[in-house]
Structure 1
């Protein structure tokens, strides 16, 4: 893992403009900060999808067309703390559905915490944690003949541009069989006054989360980023429906990363692009899946119509 981390950080910092992969936000500190972010008043995304999972659980189960007598695999990509999924797991368990829950995450820490929590709260649910790359794990699970339901929640698909999102969903389809389901959670296009504060909270937790990526490079790759000389900067284009996060250098400076054996110069005001957060509507979703093996079945909205869970079926 450290070699891949080193390689991708090097590639990003040698790009023009500079970039850093958002997946590396998530170490032990990053996991804890993101849990804080999800509870912030400005961060509507988690509450919106949680609203669906809490108040429309049966609608989700019905839309997924699950058979109570058929054992299936419920596979969550980027499970995190499983906050939303627990409501679905609990209802499926109470209704005597037969299934294994397979949370996949890059963070072993997050998986261990989730498994411990579920052992205490839902001891009857079969939990098989999977650490690593989504597609490597899905490829290994492909041999199983059990029907599969993939959960990709939290508008994580929005961390990709549309071309990558289409390729991602196509690759998911390549690892599934006809009739398998994908529950895709996406944030809907909204006005700037709602979206921008979600990435720029008053407490500065999101700023800490973004800058923690530099701290992680310092710790794991022997870098010397001075966090006091960088700041978090979010931007949102309401017309396009795209939010972006940047780390901005506040001074002319040079950063050394010993594990990479390289130095990087930054100008005052220079941006490092760390994250994209795409917002969607029906037309965008239909366009993204148009060249994949999925068909759109159902769309389930939260009470404020901020967020949508789309149910897709593998053809």
Structure 2
């Protein structure tokens, strides 16, 4: 039995679930997809034939690691990766940086302690001399945990994987402004943007034939059951992704197939669903270059260059503070 928490003692996860499922329309925050099972499912998603994003960014990093290393070789730096995950793509950069004997420390940031432990162990086995400092938590709270850098050490922040696409334009602007406020002039930010392209390619990436993305969304209902004592029956929900080519918004919903009530013990909350009522689960915005330039201007950043894959499906934009 899960003992109901008081409002003041609710975890951030519990508070956000309570807020989202008490709202109209209902929503859940996609950052909570990533528990241990969510991590496992996302690894499967990245291997799917429809999910081009990971392959495109991996190509970019493999192709342009030498260019990025050339930009960084003249002074030591702290490499900070927001939402590091398993670090698979970043290891391409790390391998090149190690080969070139660049002077740096690596600070992977993630909300999942499980994935950070796995990443640290993997990196220490491969590069025992690499200084790795995992930081668990939300991006900005984790950044505040960083040890102070020496005056001649600049920060290089990685925000890869099109994570910025999970934000609205207004939220992306606010995020980059907050990030810039924690950095110093001359610091760099490398941000991954999924680009607008054939809508069929985009939608297929979020509606794969193996239904792994469906399971990834439904796992958040399972997580509420596991951690908060919910009694969701995920089979009563339908995964429904959509792409809007004008805004570039890819949206994922879970739609209740029936009239139903769900009780969440830790919140002492009963949530009523009408048949075909939706939970807004995720936004994944696709950009064009004009939008990226506009976003950088609003955030007070300078675009130094765009690293692109050969098909120009994806770009890693390098900003300077």
Residue of structure 2 aligned with 1:129, choices 128, 134, 138: 134
Residue of structure 1 equivalent to 2:102: 97
User: What CA distance in whole angstroms lies between the structure 2 residues aligned with 1:80 and 1:169?
Assistant: 20
- What TM-score results when the alignment is normalised by the length of structure 1? 0.96
User: What CA distance in whole angstroms lies between the structure 1 residues aligned with 2:106 and 2:98?
Assistant: 11
1:6 Cα offset (Å):
0.8
- Residues 38 and 46 of structure 1 are in contact (CA less than 8 Å); yes or no, is this contact kept in structure 2? yes
Name which of structure 1's ranges 143-152 and 43-52 shifts more when overlaid on structure 2.
143-152
Match status 1:216 vs 2:223: yes
User: What CA distance in whole angstroms lies between the structure 1 residues aligned with 2:258 and 2:234?
Assistant: 11
Q: Give 5+ residue unaligned stretches, structure 2.
A: 1-8
- What is the CA deviation profile of residues 72-131 of structure 1, one whole-angstrom value per residue up to 9, with x for unaligned ones? 100000000111100100101110101001000000000011111111222222111110
Residue of structure 2 equivalent to 1:44: 52
1:15 Cα offset (Å):
1.0
Match status 1:21 vs 2:29: yes
Residue of structure 1 equivalent to 2:250: 243
User: What CA distance in whole angstroms lies between the structure 2 residues aligned with 1:23 and 1:192?
Assistant: 25
- What is the CA deviation profile of residues 147-185 of structure 1, one whole-angstrom value per residue up to 9, with x for unaligned ones? 100000000000000000000000000000000000011
1:142 Cα offset (Å):
7.4
User: What CA distance in whole angstroms lies between the structure 1 residues aligned with 2:269 and 2:13?
Assistant: 15
- Residues 135 and 145 of structure 2 are in contact (CA less than 8 Å); yes or no, is this contact kept in structure 1? no
- What is the CA deviation profile of residues 211-254 of structure 1, one whole-angstrom value per residue up to 9, with x for unaligned ones? 00000000100000011101211100112211001111011101
- What TM-score results when the alignment is normalised by the length of structure 2? 0.94
Residue of structure 2 equivalent to 1:278: 285
- Residues 102 and 128 of structure 1 are in contact (CA less than 8 Å); yes or no, is this contact kept in structure 2? yes
- Residues 20 and 274 of structure 1 are in contact (CA less than 8 Å); yes or no, is this contact kept in structure 2? yes
Residue of structure 2 aligned with 1:196, choices 193, 203, 227: 203
- Residues 158 and 186 of structure 1 are in contact (CA less than 8 Å); yes or no, is this contact kept in structure 2? yes
Q: Give 5+ residue unaligned stretches, structure 1.
A: none
Residue of structure 2 equivalent to 1:257: 264
Residue of structure 1 aligned with 2:313, choices 292, 306, 311: 306
1:300 Cα offset (Å):
0.9
The 3-state SS of whatever aligns with 1:291 is helix
User: What CA distance in whole angstroms lies between the structure 2 residues aligned with 1:187 and 1:135?
Assistant: 23
Residue 2 to residue 113, structure 1, CA distance change in 2 (3 Å): farther
Residue of structure 1 equivalent to 2:275: 268
Residue of structure 1 aligned with 2:154, choices 147, 155, 176: 147
Residue of structure 2 equivalent to 1:177: 184
Q: RMSD of aligned C-alpha atoms? A: 1.3
User: What CA distance in whole angstroms lies between the structure 2 residues aligned with 1:34 and 1:218?
Assistant: 20
1:153-164 → structure 2 map (5 Å cutoff): 153-164=160-171
1:2 Cα offset (Å):
5.9
1:35 Cα offset (Å):
0.3
1:137 Cα offset (Å):
2.1
Match status 1:61 vs 2:76: no
Residue of structure 2 equivalent to 1:205: 212
